[in-house]
A and B are shown apart, each in its own frame.
Chain A
Amino acid sequence: MKRPYALAIVRKDLKLLRRSRPVMISLISLPVILLVVLPATLVGFAVLAEVLGVQHDLDGILQSFSPEATAPLSGYTTSQKFVYVALTYFMAPLYLILPLLVSVVIAADSFAGEKERQTLEALLYTPTTDWELLLGKVVASWLPAVLVALFGFGFYSITANAVAWPVMKHIFFPNSMWFVLVLWVAPAITGIGIGLTVLLSAWVEGFQEAYQLGNLVVMPMLALFIQEVRGVIAFDLQFVFLLGAGLWLVNAGLLYFGYGFVKRDRLTRSV
C-alpha cells in the first residue's frame, strides 16, 4: 500500500489497547455482567414468579409483536413463554448496550486518552492526513468493539440456553432476529458510540471524563428496553432491520460531521 498510515494508526492503537488494564477489565467484565448476570436474573424472576403464583401481563406485551415473532411460543407454559420472551426479545436492547459501552471505553482511551497521555501532538506531526487520522482511530475502536459484540453473542447463546435449561428443557436461542441484531445493528451502534465519543473527546480533558459522558449513550437503549417491556415496541425481525438502517444513517451523518470536525488545527488547539 502506498500510504499505510491509517493501518499504522490501527496497529498502534490496538497494541495500546491490549496494554491498558482499565480497558481490558471493562472488555471482560461488561459481557459477564450483561450476558450472564442479567439473563440469570431474568430467569430467576420467571421461576420465582411461577413459584409465588405472580400474574404478569405477558399476553398484553406480546400483542405488539408480529405473528412470526410469537409463533415459537405456541405450546409453551407461562414460565417458558416468559423466559423465551425475556431472553430473546427483552434482552435484545440490553445486548446492544454491550457494543455501545465497549466502543465508548475504547474510543475514550483512543482519543481523550491520547490527549491525557500527552501523546497526541507527536501523532499530529506524522505525515498522516486528517482523514487517515480519523479513519485509523475509528477503525481501531470499531474493530475490537465489534469483535467483543460477536464473541458476546456466542457467549450469550451458550449462557441463555444454559441458564434457561431448567425451565425450557431444550435449546431455543438464537432466533433469526438475533442474527440481524448482531450482524446489522451491533456494528452500526458501535459506530455511533465511537462517533459520539470522538466528538466528546474534543471537549474533555481525559479518558475518565470521556468515558463517563460517553456512558450516557446507553440511555436510549434503556428507553427502548422499557418501551418494549411496556408493550409499546417489539424487537421483532422487521423492527430490528429498520432500527439498523436508521442507525447506519446516523453513522453516515456522524462520519460526515466527524470528517469536518477532526481537523489538525482544531486538535492542535486542544493539546
Chain B
Amino acid sequence: MSPILLLDRVTRRFGATTAVDRLSLAVQPGEIFGLLGHNGAGKTTTIRLSNGLLKPDEGEIRVHGLDPVKHGEQIRLQTGVLTETPAVEGRLTARENLMVFGQLFGVDRPLLRRRVEDLLERFRLIDRADERVVRFSKGMKQRLALARTLLHDPKLIFLDEPSSGLDPVGAYEVRQLIHALSREERRTVVLSTHNLHYAQQLCDRVGVMERGHLRALGTAEELIRSIQPQTRVRISVDRADVELARTLLAQQFNEVDAAHTDGSLLVRSNATPAISATVARLVDAGIRIRSVVPHEPSLEDVYLALHKPQLTA
C-alpha cells in the first residue's frame, strides 16, 4: 500500500535555524501516527510543510501522491488540520464559524448545513450553536475547532495538540473521537502531541522528533524494547524499613531508586531475578512490604531516554 503521507529527506530552515532536518517518514492510510517532541522540535513545521503552507528547502513531500508545493490547494481540500490554537472567530457564533469555513472548503450549502448540525451535535455544541464564540471556554473552542477540521470530510487529519486546554473529560472524549476517526471511519490521523500517555494509548506508530531530526520511529512497543530491556519492579515498604530494603535490594539489582516519599523503591535489573525470591528475602529480614508492582516501561520512558543528554545538561 502506498503511503498517504511521505517525507523524503525534507529540510526547512528559518534563517540560521534548521526547523526540520533531513526528515524522512511514511504514514500509511488508516493509521494513527504520533509525532512527539518538545516545543521547537519541528512538529508544527512538518504539518505546515505537508499542507503546502511552507516550502521545503530540500527533499520531497507527497500527500495523496501530490506535491504540496505544486498542488497545495488540492491537498488542503483532502486534509483537515487542527491548529495548535483553536483559531476560531470569536465574533461569530459556533454555527457561523462552521458555515463560513465550510464555504471556504467549497462544501455545497445543503450538505454543509446537514454536516454543521451533525458536528454541532457530535461535539456537544448544539445548545450554544448560536452564541458568539468569544464567550466559550477554551475546551469548547477546541471542540469547535475539531468540528471545523471535519467539515469537508478529509481522509487525512493533522491534529496539533488536540487535548490542549481540555479538562480530563474533554481529553477523554477527544481520545475516543480520534480512535473512532481512525478505526470506524478509516481516516488517517497524524497526531502531534506532548502528551505521551495519549500517544501511547492511541498511536499505531510514533516518531520522536528533536531539533528537526527524527530520533526514533516505530510502534510504542518497539521503541520501549529498544531502549528498555531492563526488568523493573516497584516495591513499597514501610518507611522505617526503606534503608534496609534498599541495601538488600542493591545486592540483587543493578539500580535501586527511592525517589518516592511514600517508601516505594524502584528497582531495575538487566537480568530477571525471581521476584518471589526477592520478596521472601525481604520478608525474612523483617521488612514490612506493602505492595510489589511490576513497573511496565512507557513511551514516556522512551521519550525521556532519548532526551536524556538534554535533561542531564
Q: Is the CB of A122 within 8 A of B101?
A: yes
Given that A11-B100, A127-B77 are known contacts, is A122 also in contact with B106, CB under 8 Å in the complex? no
Q: Is the CB of A125 within 8 A of B100?
A: no
Q: For chain B residues 27-57, which have a beta carbon within 8 Å of chain A? A: 48, 51-55
Q: Is the CB of A122 within 8 A of B87?
A: yes
Of all chain B residues, the one with the shortest Cβ separation from A9 is B104
Selecting from B88-96, B245-253, B276-284, the interface stretch reads B88-96
Q: Is the CB of A119 within 8 A of B89?
A: yes
Q: Is the CB of A8 within 8 A of B100?
A: yes
Q: Is the CB of B88 within 8 A of A8?
A: no
Q: For chain A residues 127-142, which have a beta carbon within 8 Å of chain B? A: 127-129
Q: Is the CB of B87 within 8 A of A118?
A: yes
Q: Which of A12, A16, A126, A268 meets B48, CB within 8 Å?
A: A268
Q: Which of A15, A126, A264 meets B92, CB within 8 Å?
A: A15
Of all chain B residues, the one with the shortest Cβ separation from A126 is B104
Q: Is the CB of A118 within 8 A of B103?
A: no
Given that A4-B106, A125-B83 are known contacts, is A12 also in contact with B91, CB under 8 Å in the complex? no
CB of B148 within 8 Å of the partner chain: yes
Given that A12-B104, A15-B96 are known contacts, is A125 also in contact with B53, CB under 8 Å in the complex? yes
Our count of residue pairs bridging A and B at CB distance below 8 angstroms stands at 77
Given that A16-B89, A119-B88 are known contacts, is A125 also in contact with B73, CB under 8 Å in the complex? no
The interface residues of chain A, by DSSP majority, are classed as: helix
A interface residue count range (under 10 / 10 to 19 / 20 to 34 / 35 or more): 20 to 34
CB of B254 within 8 Å of the partner chain: no
B interface residues, how many (CB within 8 angstroms): 32
Q: What are 29 A-B interface contacts by the 8 Å CB criterion? A: A4-B103, A4-B106, A8-B103, A8-B104, A12-B103, A12-B104, A20-B91, A118-B85, A119-B88, A119-B89, A121-B83, A121-B85, A121-B87, A122-B87, A122-B101, A123-B104, A124-B53, A125-B53, A125-B81, A125-B83, A127-B73, A127-B77, A127-B105, A128-B73, A128-B104, A265-B54, A268-B54, A269-B14, A269-B54
CB of A169 within 8 Å of the partner chain: no
Given that A127-B74, A127-B105, A265-B54 are known contacts, is A16 also in contact with B92, CB under 8 Å in the complex? yes
Q: Which of B53, B81, B91 meets A264, CB within 8 Å?
A: B53
Given contacts A122-B88, A268-B54, 15 further A-B contacts (CB under 8 A): A3-B106, A4-B103, A8-B106, A11-B103, A12-B89, A16-B92, A19-B132, A118-B87, A119-B89, A122-B145, A123-B104, A126-B76, A127-B77, A127-B105, A269-B54
Measured CA separation A222–B152 after assembly (Å)? 50
A139 shortest CB reach to chain B, Å: 15
- What residues of chain B lie closer than 8 Å to A264, measured between beta carbons? 52-54, 72
Q: Is the CB of A19 within 8 A of B104?
A: no
Of all chain A residues, the one with the shortest Cβ separation from B53 is A268
B13 shortest CB reach to chain A, Å: 11
Q: Is the CB of B51 within 8 A of A125?
A: yes
Measured CA separation A269–B48 after assembly (Å)? 10
Q: Is the CB of A129 within 8 A of B73?
A: yes
- What residues of chain B lie closer than 8 Å to A5, measured between beta carbons? 104, 106
- What residues of chain A lie closer than 8 Å to B87, measured between beta carbons? 118-122
- What residues of chain B lie closer than 8 Å to A16, measured between beta carbons? 89, 91-92
- What residues of chain B lie closer than 8 Å to A122, measured between beta carbons? 83, 87-88, 101, 145, 148
B312 shortest CB reach to chain A, Å: 33
- What residues of chain A lie closer than 8 Å to B83, measured between beta carbons? 121-122, 125
Measured CA separation A126–B106 after assembly (Å)? 10
B32 shortest CB reach to chain A, Å: 20
Measured CA separation A20–B74 after assembly (Å)? 33
- What residues of chain B lie closer than 8 Å to A170, measured between beta carbons? none
Of all chain B residues, the one with the shortest Cβ separation from A18 is B91
Of all chain B residues, the one with the shortest Cβ separation from A16 is B91
Measured CA separation A19–B14 after assembly (Å)? 37
- What residues of chain B lie closer than 8 Å to A15, measured between beta carbons? 92, 96, 100
Given that A16-B91, A125-B81, A128-B104 are known contacts, is A265 also in contact with B73, CB under 8 Å in the complex? no
A10 shortest CB reach to chain B, Å: 11
- What residues of chain A lie closer than 8 Å to B100, measured between beta carbons? 8, 11-12, 15
Q: Which of A19, A129, A265, A269 meets B91, CB within 8 Å?
A: A19
Given that A265-B53, A265-B54, A268-B48 are known contacts, is A126 also in contact with B89, CB under 8 Å in the complex? no
A121 shortest CB reach to chain B, Å: 5
A137 shortest CB reach to chain B, Å: 13
- What residues of chain A lie closer than 8 Å to B55, measured between beta carbons? 265
- What residues of chain B lie closer than 8 Å to A121, measured between beta carbons? 83, 85, 87
A240 shortest CB reach to chain B, Å: 38
Of all chain A residues, the one with the shortest Cβ separation from B78 is A127
Measured CA separation A20–B89 after assembly (Å)? 12
The proximity string for B residues 100-131 relative to A, scoring 1 for CB distances below 8 Å and 0 otherwise, is: 11011110000000000000000000000000
Given that A8-B104, A12-B100 are known contacts, is A125 also in contact with B76, CB under 8 Å in the complex? yes
